[in-house]
Structure 1
Amino acid sequence: MNSFERMAPDQIARLSLAITATAEVLGQTITSEAAEMMAGDLADYPVEAVSGALKACRRELTGKLTLAAVLQRVQAADGRPGKDEAWSIALTAGDESETVVMTAEIRQAMVAAQPILSRRDVVGARMAFNSAYERLVSAARAEAKPTTWSVSLGLDPARRVTAIESAVRMQLITLQAGTQYLADLRIAPITTDGQAIAGLITGSTAEPSPHLREKLAEVRQIVDAAKARQKREQLKKAQADRVDTYLRKRKFRAAIAAAQRKEASHG
Protein backbone atom coordinates (compact mmCIF):
# COMPACT_ATOMS: atom_id res chain seq x y z
CA MET A 1 0.00 0.00 0.00
CA ASN A 2 1.21 3.47 -0.82
CA SER A 3 2.67 5.21 2.26
CA PHE A 4 2.67 8.68 0.71
CA GLU A 5 -0.33 10.99 0.91
CA ARG A 6 -1.90 11.30 -2.52
CA MET A 7 -1.78 14.76 -4.07
CA ALA A 8 -4.81 16.98 -3.62
CA PRO A 9 -6.96 17.77 -6.69
CA ASP A 10 -5.51 21.27 -7.03
CA GLN A 11 -1.98 19.85 -6.90
CA ILE A 12 -2.86 17.33 -9.61
CA ALA A 13 -4.26 20.14 -11.74
CA ARG A 14 -1.04 22.16 -11.37
CA LEU A 15 0.97 19.04 -12.13
CA SER A 16 -1.00 18.56 -15.33
CA LEU A 17 -0.09 22.10 -16.41
CA ALA A 18 3.57 21.48 -15.52
CA ILE A 19 3.56 18.31 -17.63
CA THR A 20 2.06 20.23 -20.57
CA ALA A 21 4.66 22.98 -20.21
CA THR A 22 7.53 20.48 -19.91
CA ALA A 23 6.38 18.76 -23.10
CA GLU A 24 6.28 22.16 -24.85
CA VAL A 25 9.83 22.92 -23.71
CA LEU A 26 10.90 19.60 -25.24
CA GLY A 27 9.20 20.50 -28.52
CA GLN A 28 6.25 18.17 -27.98
CA THR A 29 2.53 18.82 -27.88
CA ILE A 30 0.31 16.61 -25.73
CA THR A 31 -3.42 16.80 -25.18
CA SER A 32 -4.85 18.00 -21.90
CA GLU A 33 -6.39 14.54 -21.44
CA ALA A 34 -2.98 12.88 -21.74
CA ALA A 35 -1.42 15.37 -19.33
CA GLU A 36 -4.21 14.81 -16.81
CA MET A 37 -3.78 11.05 -17.10
CA MET A 38 -0.04 11.30 -16.48
CA ALA A 39 -0.66 13.62 -13.53
CA GLY A 40 -3.09 11.10 -12.05
CA ASP A 41 -0.54 8.31 -12.37
CA LEU A 42 2.12 10.46 -10.67
CA ALA A 43 -0.16 11.72 -7.91
CA ASP A 44 0.84 8.93 -5.52
CA TYR A 45 4.39 10.30 -5.28
CA PRO A 46 5.62 13.36 -3.32
CA VAL A 47 5.13 16.69 -5.09
CA GLU A 48 8.82 17.59 -4.64
CA ALA A 49 9.98 14.31 -6.17
CA VAL A 50 7.74 14.69 -9.23
CA SER A 51 8.73 18.34 -9.67
CA GLY A 52 12.40 17.36 -9.53
CA ALA A 53 11.83 14.58 -12.04
CA LEU A 54 10.16 16.96 -14.49
CA LYS A 55 13.08 19.36 -14.09
CA ALA A 56 15.48 16.50 -14.83
CA CYS A 57 13.45 15.59 -17.91
CA ARG A 58 13.68 19.15 -19.21
CA ARG A 59 17.44 19.06 -18.79
CA GLU A 60 18.18 15.54 -19.94
CA LEU A 61 15.60 14.33 -22.46
CA THR A 62 16.21 14.79 -26.15
CA GLY A 63 13.09 12.91 -27.23
CA LYS A 64 9.48 12.87 -26.14
CA LEU A 65 8.29 13.22 -22.56
CA THR A 66 6.88 9.91 -21.34
CA LEU A 67 5.42 8.67 -18.09
CA ALA A 68 8.20 6.08 -17.90
CA ALA A 69 10.87 8.78 -18.15
CA VAL A 70 9.32 10.76 -15.31
CA LEU A 71 8.80 7.68 -13.12
CA GLN A 72 12.38 6.57 -13.69
CA ARG A 73 13.66 9.86 -12.30
CA VAL A 74 11.16 9.96 -9.44
CA GLN A 75 12.18 6.50 -8.31
CA ALA A 76 15.91 7.08 -8.79
CA ALA A 77 15.68 9.98 -6.33
CA ASP A 78 14.00 7.98 -3.55
CA GLY A 79 17.29 7.53 -1.67
CA ARG A 80 17.55 3.75 -1.99
CA PRO A 81 21.15 2.63 -2.54
CA GLY A 82 22.15 0.82 -5.71
CA LYS A 83 22.69 -2.92 -5.44
CA ASP A 84 26.49 -2.64 -5.12
CA GLU A 85 26.29 -0.10 -2.31
CA ALA A 86 23.53 -2.12 -0.67
CA TRP A 87 25.69 -5.27 -0.76
CA SER A 88 28.57 -3.36 0.82
CA ILE A 89 26.27 -2.22 3.63
CA ALA A 90 25.03 -5.77 4.10
CA LEU A 91 28.58 -7.12 4.39
CA THR A 92 29.51 -4.43 6.91
CA ALA A 93 26.50 -5.44 8.98
CA GLY A 94 28.06 -8.89 9.30
CA ASP A 95 30.74 -7.40 11.58
CA GLU A 96 29.24 -7.43 15.07
CA SER A 97 31.35 -4.46 16.16
CA GLU A 98 29.98 -2.20 13.40
CA THR A 99 26.86 -0.06 13.69
CA VAL A 100 25.14 0.01 10.31
CA VAL A 101 22.28 2.11 8.96
CA MET A 102 20.31 0.18 6.35
CA THR A 103 17.04 0.22 4.43
CA ALA A 104 14.23 -2.26 4.90
CA GLU A 105 15.07 -3.83 1.52
CA ILE A 106 18.72 -4.41 2.50
CA ARG A 107 17.64 -6.07 5.72
CA GLN A 108 15.20 -8.35 3.91
CA ALA A 109 17.65 -9.23 1.13
CA MET A 110 20.22 -10.22 3.75
CA VAL A 111 17.85 -13.00 4.84
CA ALA A 112 18.11 -14.57 1.38
CA ALA A 113 21.90 -14.24 1.26
CA GLN A 114 22.79 -15.28 4.80
CA PRO A 115 22.50 -19.10 4.41
CA ILE A 116 24.78 -18.99 1.37
CA LEU A 117 27.20 -16.59 3.02
CA SER A 118 27.43 -18.87 6.05
CA ARG A 119 28.87 -21.52 3.69
CA ARG A 120 31.56 -18.96 2.75
CA ASP A 121 30.23 -18.70 -0.79
CA VAL A 122 30.58 -14.94 -1.15
CA VAL A 123 29.90 -14.91 -4.90
CA GLY A 124 26.74 -16.96 -4.53
CA ALA A 125 25.61 -14.88 -1.59
CA ARG A 126 26.07 -11.68 -3.55
CA MET A 127 24.05 -13.06 -6.48
CA ALA A 128 21.24 -14.10 -4.14
CA PHE A 129 21.34 -10.74 -2.37
CA ASN A 130 21.29 -8.73 -5.61
CA SER A 131 18.39 -10.73 -7.00
CA ALA A 132 16.32 -10.36 -3.83
CA TYR A 133 17.27 -6.70 -3.37
CA GLU A 134 16.34 -5.65 -6.91
CA ARG A 135 13.03 -7.51 -6.63
CA LEU A 136 12.23 -5.87 -3.28
CA VAL A 137 13.18 -2.39 -4.50
CA SER A 138 11.12 -2.76 -7.67
CA ALA A 139 8.09 -3.85 -5.65
CA ALA A 140 8.49 -0.99 -3.18
CA ARG A 141 8.84 1.57 -5.97
CA ALA A 142 5.84 0.17 -7.84
CA GLU A 143 3.79 0.74 -4.69
CA ALA A 144 5.35 4.20 -4.15
CA LYS A 145 6.66 3.20 -0.72
CA PRO A 146 9.05 5.73 0.85
CA THR A 147 12.57 4.66 1.80
CA THR A 148 12.86 3.74 5.46
CA TRP A 149 16.21 3.54 7.27
CA SER A 150 16.92 1.81 10.56
CA VAL A 151 19.99 1.32 12.72
CA SER A 152 21.57 -2.06 13.40
CA LEU A 153 23.63 -1.50 16.54
CA GLY A 154 27.15 -2.90 16.83
CA LEU A 155 29.14 -3.67 19.96
CA ASP A 156 31.72 -0.89 19.60
CA PRO A 157 30.34 2.22 21.37
CA ALA A 158 32.60 4.65 19.51
CA ARG A 159 31.49 3.28 16.16
CA ARG A 160 27.87 3.56 17.28
CA VAL A 161 28.05 7.29 17.77
CA THR A 162 30.04 7.83 14.56
CA ALA A 163 27.52 5.86 12.48
CA ILE A 164 24.48 7.43 14.12
CA GLU A 165 25.86 10.97 13.85
CA SER A 166 26.59 10.37 10.17
CA ALA A 167 23.07 9.02 9.61
CA VAL A 168 21.56 12.11 11.29
CA ARG A 169 23.79 14.46 9.26
CA MET A 170 22.79 12.73 6.02
CA GLN A 171 19.13 12.93 7.10
CA LEU A 172 18.67 9.17 6.89
CA ILE A 173 17.25 9.24 10.42
CA THR A 174 16.01 12.17 12.48
CA LEU A 175 17.99 13.82 15.26
CA GLN A 176 15.32 12.62 17.67
CA ALA A 177 15.76 9.04 16.50
CA GLY A 178 19.55 9.29 16.74
CA THR A 179 19.31 10.62 20.28
CA GLN A 180 16.88 7.88 21.21
CA TYR A 181 19.20 5.16 19.91
CA LEU A 182 21.91 6.35 22.29
CA ALA A 183 19.59 7.10 25.18
CA ASP A 184 17.80 3.75 25.04
CA LEU A 185 18.47 1.61 28.11
CA ARG A 186 19.65 -1.25 25.96
CA ILE A 187 22.68 0.75 24.84
CA ALA A 188 23.00 3.28 27.66
CA PRO A 189 26.71 3.81 28.27
CA ILE A 190 27.80 2.77 31.76
CA THR A 191 31.32 4.19 31.70
CA THR A 192 32.43 7.81 31.79
CA ASP A 193 33.98 7.44 28.36
CA GLY A 194 30.76 5.93 27.06
CA GLN A 195 28.76 8.87 28.41
CA ALA A 196 31.21 11.31 26.81
CA ILE A 197 30.79 9.56 23.44
CA ALA A 198 27.00 9.67 23.70
CA GLY A 199 27.25 13.36 24.56
CA LEU A 200 28.29 14.09 20.98
CA ILE A 201 24.69 13.42 19.99
CA THR A 202 22.66 14.01 23.13
CA GLY A 203 24.45 17.16 24.29
CA SER A 204 25.07 15.75 27.75
CA THR A 205 28.51 16.28 29.29
CA ALA A 206 30.90 13.87 30.98
CA GLU A 207 34.65 14.09 31.53
CA PRO A 208 36.41 11.59 29.25
CA SER A 209 39.82 10.06 29.73
CA PRO A 210 42.81 11.92 28.19
CA HIS A 211 43.08 9.37 25.38
CA LEU A 212 39.40 9.56 24.54
CA ARG A 213 39.45 13.36 24.83
CA GLU A 214 41.98 13.46 22.00
CA LYS A 215 39.86 11.10 19.88
CA LEU A 216 36.70 13.10 20.54
CA ALA A 217 38.47 16.27 19.45
CA GLU A 218 39.31 14.59 16.14
CA VAL A 219 35.71 13.46 15.72
CA ARG A 220 34.40 16.97 16.46
CA GLN A 221 36.77 18.44 13.88
CA ILE A 222 35.46 15.99 11.28
CA VAL A 223 31.86 16.72 12.25
CA ASP A 224 32.39 20.51 12.19
CA ALA A 225 34.07 20.33 8.80
CA ALA A 226 31.22 18.19 7.46
CA LYS A 227 28.62 20.63 8.79
CA ALA A 228 30.46 23.59 7.25
CA ARG A 229 30.67 21.77 3.91
CA GLN A 230 26.98 20.89 4.09
CA LYS A 231 26.09 24.52 4.78
CA ARG A 232 28.12 25.68 1.77
CA GLU A 233 26.42 23.08 -0.41
CA GLN A 234 22.99 24.14 0.84
CA LEU A 235 23.71 27.79 0.03
CA LYS A 236 24.97 26.83 -3.42
CA LYS A 237 21.90 24.65 -4.04
CA ALA A 238 19.56 27.41 -2.85
CA GLN A 239 21.13 29.85 -5.29
CA ALA A 240 20.93 27.32 -8.14
CA ASP A 241 17.29 26.57 -7.27
CA ARG A 242 16.42 30.27 -7.40
CA VAL A 243 17.95 30.58 -10.85
CA ASP A 244 16.24 27.40 -12.01
CA THR A 245 12.88 28.55 -10.63
CA TYR A 246 13.18 31.83 -12.53
CA LEU A 247 14.07 30.05 -15.78
CA ARG A 248 11.38 27.42 -15.27
CA LYS A 249 8.70 30.06 -14.69
CA ARG A 250 9.82 31.94 -17.77
CA LYS A 251 9.71 28.77 -19.88
CA PHE A 252 6.36 27.85 -18.37
CA ARG A 253 4.86 31.23 -19.26
CA ALA A 254 6.30 31.00 -22.75
CA ALA A 255 4.89 27.49 -23.21
CA ILE A 256 1.44 28.52 -22.01
CA ALA A 257 1.49 31.56 -24.27
CA ALA A 258 2.49 29.38 -27.22
CA ALA A 259 -0.30 26.91 -26.42
CA GLN A 260 -2.83 29.75 -26.21
CA ARG A 261 -1.66 31.18 -29.52
CA LYS A 262 -1.96 27.76 -31.12
CA GLU A 263 -5.47 27.32 -29.78
CA ALA A 264 -6.41 30.81 -30.99
CA SER A 265 -5.07 30.10 -34.46
CA HIS A 266 -7.19 26.96 -34.68
CA GLY A 267 -10.24 28.70 -33.22
Structure 2
Amino acid sequence: MNAADTPRFMQLLAETLAAYGKSLPEPAMVRAWQANLEPYPLRTVQAAMQAYQDENGEFAPVPAGIAKRCKLMDGRPGAEEAWAIALTSQDEMASVVWTTEIAEAFRICRPVLDSSGAISARKPFLEAYERIVAAARLARRPAEWVASVGWDKTRHVEVLDSAVRAGLLPAPAVAGLLAGKKDSTPDDAARAQLARIKQMQVEAAAAKETARLAAVEQQRLADIEFKRATNDRVRQIDPRAEMQAADPRQILRRAHVPGRHATNDSGPLPEVIRNQKNGSKGFK
Protein backbone atom coordinates (compact mmCIF):
# COMPACT_ATOMS: atom_id res chain seq x y z
CA MET A 1 0.00 0.00 0.00
CA ASN A 2 1.03 3.59 -0.47
CA ALA A 3 -0.11 6.95 0.85
CA ALA A 4 -2.90 7.15 -1.73
CA ASP A 5 -4.40 3.95 -0.31
CA THR A 6 -4.61 5.28 3.24
CA PRO A 7 -8.23 6.61 3.11
CA ARG A 8 -9.50 3.38 1.59
CA PHE A 9 -7.53 1.30 4.10
CA MET A 10 -8.90 3.28 7.05
CA GLN A 11 -12.44 2.69 5.78
CA LEU A 12 -11.69 -1.02 5.34
CA LEU A 13 -10.26 -1.26 8.87
CA ALA A 14 -13.22 0.57 10.39
CA GLU A 15 -15.73 -1.71 8.62
CA THR A 16 -13.85 -4.84 9.64
CA LEU A 17 -13.59 -3.87 13.29
CA ALA A 18 -17.22 -2.74 13.35
CA ALA A 19 -18.24 -6.29 12.44
CA TYR A 20 -16.80 -7.32 15.82
CA GLY A 21 -18.37 -4.43 17.72
CA LYS A 22 -15.19 -2.40 17.92
CA SER A 23 -14.29 1.10 16.82
CA LEU A 24 -11.07 2.38 15.26
CA PRO A 25 -8.10 2.01 17.63
CA GLU A 26 -5.81 4.68 18.98
CA PRO A 27 -3.36 6.34 16.55
CA ALA A 28 -0.47 4.17 17.78
CA MET A 29 -2.42 1.00 16.93
CA VAL A 30 -3.39 2.44 13.55
CA ARG A 31 0.30 2.98 12.80
CA ALA A 32 0.95 -0.63 13.78
CA TRP A 33 -1.71 -1.76 11.30
CA GLN A 34 -0.17 0.32 8.54
CA ALA A 35 3.40 -0.79 9.31
CA ASN A 36 2.45 -4.49 9.20
CA LEU A 37 0.37 -4.26 6.03
CA GLU A 38 2.35 -1.67 4.05
CA PRO A 39 4.28 -4.27 1.95
CA TYR A 40 1.06 -5.74 0.52
CA PRO A 41 -1.32 -4.36 -2.12
CA LEU A 42 -4.60 -3.01 -0.83
CA ARG A 43 -6.58 -5.67 -2.69
CA THR A 44 -4.54 -8.38 -0.91
CA VAL A 45 -5.21 -6.76 2.47
CA GLN A 46 -8.91 -6.57 1.66
CA ALA A 47 -8.99 -10.25 0.68
CA ALA A 48 -7.15 -11.20 3.89
CA MET A 49 -9.63 -9.22 6.00
CA GLN A 50 -12.58 -10.91 4.31
CA ALA A 51 -11.05 -14.36 4.69
CA TYR A 52 -10.49 -13.72 8.39
CA GLN A 53 -14.11 -12.69 8.91
CA ASP A 54 -15.33 -15.80 7.12
CA GLU A 55 -13.30 -18.07 9.40
CA ASN A 56 -13.32 -16.18 12.72
CA GLY A 57 -16.61 -14.70 13.84
CA GLU A 58 -15.79 -14.14 17.51
CA PHE A 59 -12.42 -12.41 17.90
CA ALA A 60 -11.37 -9.21 16.18
CA PRO A 61 -8.27 -9.41 13.95
CA VAL A 62 -4.86 -8.09 14.93
CA PRO A 63 -2.20 -6.62 12.61
CA ALA A 64 0.22 -9.57 12.78
CA GLY A 65 -2.55 -12.07 12.02
CA ILE A 66 -3.73 -10.22 8.91
CA ALA A 67 -0.12 -9.72 7.78
CA LYS A 68 0.46 -13.49 8.02
CA ARG A 69 -2.58 -14.08 5.82
CA CYS A 70 -1.34 -11.52 3.32
CA LYS A 71 1.93 -13.44 2.96
CA LEU A 72 0.00 -16.52 1.91
CA MET A 73 -2.35 -14.54 -0.32
CA ASP A 74 0.29 -12.55 -2.17
CA GLY A 75 -0.69 -13.98 -5.54
CA ARG A 76 2.29 -16.31 -5.89
CA PRO A 77 1.37 -19.70 -7.36
CA GLY A 78 1.95 -22.88 -5.41
CA ALA A 79 4.99 -24.98 -6.25
CA GLU A 80 3.18 -27.46 -8.51
CA GLU A 81 1.34 -24.70 -10.39
CA ALA A 82 4.63 -22.82 -10.78
CA TRP A 83 6.22 -25.95 -12.30
CA ALA A 84 3.40 -26.23 -14.83
CA ILE A 85 3.85 -22.56 -15.78
CA ALA A 86 7.62 -22.97 -16.09
CA LEU A 87 7.33 -25.91 -18.48
CA THR A 88 5.44 -23.76 -20.99
CA SER A 89 8.52 -21.58 -21.38
CA GLN A 90 10.41 -24.41 -23.14
CA ASP A 91 8.64 -23.49 -26.38
CA GLU A 92 10.39 -20.40 -27.78
CA MET A 93 7.36 -19.69 -29.93
CA ALA A 94 5.04 -19.42 -26.91
CA SER A 95 4.71 -16.55 -24.45
CA VAL A 96 4.58 -17.07 -20.71
CA VAL A 97 3.62 -14.80 -17.83
CA TRP A 98 5.34 -15.88 -14.62
CA THR A 99 6.77 -14.50 -11.40
CA THR A 100 10.41 -13.67 -10.93
CA GLU A 101 10.64 -16.59 -8.47
CA ILE A 102 9.41 -19.05 -11.12
CA ALA A 103 11.92 -17.70 -13.62
CA GLU A 104 14.79 -18.00 -11.13
CA ALA A 105 13.89 -21.54 -10.04
CA PHE A 106 13.54 -22.60 -13.68
CA ARG A 107 16.97 -21.18 -14.45
CA ILE A 108 18.43 -23.29 -11.62
CA CYS A 109 16.88 -26.55 -12.81
CA ARG A 110 17.34 -25.95 -16.55
CA PRO A 111 20.62 -27.93 -16.86
CA VAL A 112 18.91 -30.97 -15.34
CA LEU A 113 15.92 -30.49 -17.62
CA ASP A 114 18.09 -30.34 -20.73
CA SER A 115 20.19 -33.37 -19.82
CA SER A 116 17.73 -35.68 -18.02
CA GLY A 117 14.20 -34.50 -18.81
CA ALA A 118 11.24 -33.04 -16.92
CA ILE A 119 10.85 -35.89 -14.44
CA SER A 120 14.37 -35.43 -13.08
CA ALA A 121 14.15 -31.61 -13.15
CA ARG A 122 10.87 -31.39 -11.23
CA LYS A 123 12.29 -31.99 -7.75
CA PRO A 124 15.15 -29.44 -7.96
CA PHE A 125 12.70 -26.89 -9.34
CA LEU A 126 10.21 -27.38 -6.49
CA GLU A 127 12.96 -27.16 -3.86
CA ALA A 128 14.47 -24.03 -5.39
CA TYR A 129 11.08 -22.35 -5.88
CA GLU A 130 9.91 -22.95 -2.30
CA ARG A 131 13.22 -21.66 -0.94
CA ILE A 132 13.14 -18.51 -3.10
CA VAL A 133 9.49 -17.76 -2.28
CA ALA A 134 10.10 -18.22 1.45
CA ALA A 135 12.98 -15.73 1.30
CA ALA A 136 10.87 -13.22 -0.65
CA ARG A 137 8.00 -13.47 1.83
CA LEU A 138 10.37 -13.10 4.76
CA ALA A 139 11.69 -9.91 3.14
CA ARG A 140 8.07 -8.82 2.49
CA ARG A 141 8.61 -8.47 -1.23
CA PRO A 142 5.37 -8.50 -3.20
CA ALA A 143 4.91 -10.88 -6.09
CA GLU A 144 6.28 -9.50 -9.34
CA TRP A 145 4.76 -10.87 -12.55
CA VAL A 146 6.71 -10.48 -15.77
CA ALA A 147 6.15 -11.55 -19.35
CA SER A 148 8.50 -13.59 -21.51
CA VAL A 149 7.18 -12.97 -25.00
CA GLY A 150 7.63 -15.69 -27.59
CA TRP A 151 7.96 -15.42 -31.34
CA ASP A 152 4.41 -16.42 -32.24
CA LYS A 153 2.48 -13.14 -32.31
CA THR A 154 -0.92 -14.81 -32.54
CA ARG A 155 -0.25 -16.70 -29.30
CA HIS A 156 1.39 -14.00 -27.20
CA VAL A 157 -1.49 -11.55 -27.72
CA GLU A 158 -3.88 -14.01 -26.12
CA VAL A 159 -1.55 -14.78 -23.22
CA LEU A 160 -0.85 -11.13 -22.42
CA ASP A 161 -4.51 -10.14 -22.67
CA SER A 162 -5.37 -12.89 -20.19
CA ALA A 163 -2.70 -11.59 -17.82
CA VAL A 164 -4.20 -8.10 -17.98
CA ARG A 165 -7.69 -9.41 -17.25
CA ALA A 166 -6.36 -11.39 -14.27
CA GLY A 167 -4.66 -8.29 -12.90
CA LEU A 168 -1.18 -9.77 -13.19
CA LEU A 169 0.15 -7.19 -15.62
CA PRO A 170 -0.79 -3.52 -16.13
CA ALA A 171 -2.44 -2.74 -19.45
CA PRO A 172 -0.02 0.06 -20.48
CA ALA A 173 2.99 -2.21 -20.01
CA VAL A 174 1.38 -4.95 -22.09
CA ALA A 175 0.52 -2.49 -24.85
CA GLY A 176 4.16 -1.41 -25.06
CA LEU A 177 5.30 -5.03 -25.01
CA LEU A 178 3.05 -5.95 -27.91
CA ALA A 179 4.20 -2.91 -29.91
CA GLY A 180 7.81 -3.95 -29.46
CA LYS A 181 7.27 -7.42 -30.96
CA LYS A 182 5.99 -6.46 -34.39
CA ASP A 183 9.06 -7.40 -36.38
CA SER A 184 10.71 -9.94 -34.11
CA THR A 185 9.27 -13.14 -35.58
CA PRO A 186 12.28 -15.23 -36.62
CA ASP A 187 12.85 -16.25 -40.19
CA ASP A 188 13.65 -19.78 -41.36
CA ALA A 189 17.39 -19.26 -40.91
CA ALA A 190 16.93 -18.26 -37.28
CA ARG A 191 14.73 -21.27 -36.61
CA ALA A 192 17.32 -23.55 -38.23
CA GLN A 193 20.08 -22.03 -36.09
CA LEU A 194 18.01 -22.59 -32.96
CA ALA A 195 17.42 -26.21 -33.95
CA ARG A 196 21.17 -26.71 -34.45
CA ILE A 197 21.90 -25.29 -30.98
CA LYS A 198 19.40 -27.68 -29.40
CA GLN A 199 20.90 -30.60 -31.30
CA MET A 200 24.37 -29.62 -30.11
CA GLN A 201 23.14 -29.66 -26.52
CA VAL A 202 21.67 -33.13 -26.98
CA GLU A 203 24.87 -34.43 -28.59
CA ALA A 204 27.02 -32.93 -25.82
CA ALA A 205 24.93 -34.70 -23.18
CA ALA A 206 25.20 -37.99 -25.10
CA ALA A 207 28.99 -37.62 -25.45
CA LYS A 208 29.30 -36.99 -21.72
CA GLU A 209 27.37 -40.16 -20.94
CA THR A 210 29.44 -42.18 -23.41
CA ALA A 211 32.65 -40.97 -21.78
CA ARG A 212 31.34 -41.94 -18.36
CA LEU A 213 30.48 -45.47 -19.52
CA ALA A 214 33.89 -45.81 -21.16
CA ALA A 215 35.60 -44.84 -17.88
CA VAL A 216 33.55 -47.44 -16.02
CA GLU A 217 34.53 -50.13 -18.53
CA GLN A 218 38.18 -49.14 -18.36
CA GLN A 219 38.14 -49.46 -14.58
CA ARG A 220 36.49 -52.88 -14.84
CA LEU A 221 39.21 -54.13 -17.19
CA ALA A 222 41.89 -52.71 -14.91
CA ASP A 223 40.43 -54.64 -11.96
CA ILE A 224 40.47 -57.87 -13.99
CA GLU A 225 44.12 -57.32 -14.96
CA PHE A 226 45.05 -56.63 -11.35
CA LYS A 227 43.47 -59.89 -10.19
CA ARG A 228 45.26 -61.82 -12.98
CA ALA A 229 48.64 -60.31 -12.08
CA THR A 230 48.07 -61.09 -8.41
CA ASN A 231 47.31 -64.73 -9.19
CA ASP A 232 50.50 -64.98 -11.27
CA ARG A 233 52.60 -63.67 -8.39
CA VAL A 234 50.93 -66.11 -6.00
CA ARG A 235 51.79 -69.02 -8.32
CA GLN A 236 55.42 -67.91 -8.44
CA ILE A 237 55.68 -67.74 -4.65
CA ASP A 238 53.74 -70.92 -3.82
CA PRO A 239 52.91 -73.13 -6.83
CA ARG A 240 50.71 -75.33 -4.67
CA ALA A 241 48.54 -72.42 -3.47
CA GLU A 242 44.85 -72.77 -4.21
CA MET A 243 44.15 -70.43 -7.08
CA GLN A 244 40.45 -70.41 -6.30
CA ALA A 245 40.97 -68.67 -2.95
CA ALA A 246 38.49 -65.97 -2.11
CA ASP A 247 41.19 -63.28 -2.15
CA PRO A 248 44.62 -64.16 -3.66
CA ARG A 249 46.10 -61.00 -2.15
CA GLN A 250 45.78 -62.56 1.33
CA ILE A 251 48.03 -65.43 0.18
CA LEU A 252 50.48 -62.91 -1.21
CA ARG A 253 50.60 -60.97 2.05
CA ARG A 254 51.01 -64.17 4.10
CA ALA A 255 53.98 -65.25 1.97
CA HIS A 256 55.75 -61.93 2.56
CA VAL A 257 55.30 -61.61 6.35
CA PRO A 258 58.85 -61.37 7.79
CA GLY A 259 59.78 -64.00 10.39
CA ARG A 260 56.72 -66.13 9.76
CA HIS A 261 57.25 -69.73 10.95
CA ALA A 262 56.82 -72.49 8.49
CA THR A 263 53.63 -74.49 8.75
CA ASN A 264 52.55 -77.87 7.52
CA ASP A 265 51.56 -76.14 4.31
CA SER A 266 55.25 -75.61 3.58
CA GLY A 267 55.89 -79.39 3.30
CA PRO A 268 57.84 -81.79 5.55
CA LEU A 269 60.82 -80.59 7.58
CA PRO A 270 64.27 -81.31 6.13
CA GLU A 271 65.92 -84.57 7.24
CA VAL A 272 68.69 -82.87 9.28
CA ILE A 273 66.23 -80.83 11.29
CA ARG A 274 64.11 -83.91 12.03
CA ASN A 275 67.14 -85.80 13.29
CA GLN A 276 68.10 -82.92 15.56
CA LYS A 277 64.58 -82.69 16.99
CA ASN A 278 64.20 -86.49 17.49
CA GLY A 279 67.71 -87.32 18.69
CA SER A 280 68.66 -84.29 20.72
CA LYS A 281 68.80 -86.32 23.97
CA GLY A 282 71.52 -88.64 22.62
CA PHE A 283 74.11 -85.86 22.35
CA LYS A 284 74.17 -85.04 26.05
TM-score (norm 1): 0.55
2:149 to 147, 153, 158: 153
How big is each residue's C-alpha offset from its partner over 1:42-94, in whole Å with a ceiling of 9 and x where there is no partner? 23433443233122211112675455541233233322211111110100101
Q: Indicate whether 1:46 and 2:12 are aligned.
A: no
Which residue in the other structure is 1:200 paired with? none
1:104 aligns with 2:81: no
* Unmatched runs of 5 consecutive residues or more in structure 2: 188-284
Q: SS of the residue aligned with 1:118?
A: helix
Between the aligned partners of 2:69 and 2:130, the Cα distance in structure 1 is 17
Structure 1 letter corresponding to 2:121: A
Give the match's secondary structure for 1:177: helix
Residues 42 and 7 of structure 1: CA distance in aligned 2, closer, same or farther (over 3 Å): farther
Equivalent residue pairs, number:
185
Alpha carbons of structure 1 residues 39 and 120: separation in structure 2 relative to 1, 3 Å: same
Tell me the equivalent position of 1:128.
Answer: 124
* Alignment-mate amino acid for residue 92 of structure 2: E
- The answer to whether 1:72 aligns with 2:68 is yes
Contact 2:16-2:49 within 8 A present in 1 as well: yes
SS at match of 1:154: coil
Match among 134, 141, 146 for residue 138 of structure 1: 134
Cα distance in 2 for partners of 1:148, 1:9 equals 22
Aligned to 1:55: 50
- Higher relative contact order (Cα pairs below 8 Å, separated by 6+ residues): 1
For 2:169, the equivalent position in structure 1 comes to: 173
Where 1:162 maps in the other structure, the secondary structure is: helix
In 2, Cα distance between equivalents of 1:135 and 1:99:
26
Describe the shift of the 1:125–1:68 C-alpha distance in structure 2 as closer, same or farther (beyond 3 A). farther
Kindly indicate whether the alpha-carbon contact (under 8 Å) linking 2:151 and 2:186 is maintained by their aligned counterparts in 1: no
Aligned equivalent of 1:5: 2
> Could you tell me how far 1:37 is from its partner in structure 2?
3.9
2:175 pairs with 1:182: no
> In structure 1, the residue corresponding to 2:116 is in which secondary structure?
coil
CA distance in 2, matches of 1:163, 1:149: 13
Shift of 1:110: 0.7
Name the CA distance, whole Å, in 2 between partners of 1:82 and 1:121.
22
Where 2:163 maps in the other structure, the secondary structure is: helix
Aligned match for 2:79, one of 83, 94, 103: 83
Unaligned runs of 5+ in 1: 192-267
Kept in 2, the 8 Å contact 1:89–1:100? The answer is yes
**TM-score (norm. length: structure 2):** 0.52
Structure number with greater Rg is: 2
Moved more, 100-109 or 59-68: 59-68
Taking the aligned partners of 2:131 and 2:137, their CA distance within structure 1 comes to 10
> Helix, strand or coil: the match of 1:50?
helix
Contact 1:13 1:36 (C-alpha < 8 Å) held by counterparts: no
Residues 39, 84 of structure 1: alpha-carbon distance in 2 compared, 3 angstrom cutoff:
same
Percent of aligned pairs sharing the same letter: 32
CA separation of 1:72 and 1:186: change in aligned 2, threshold 3 A: same
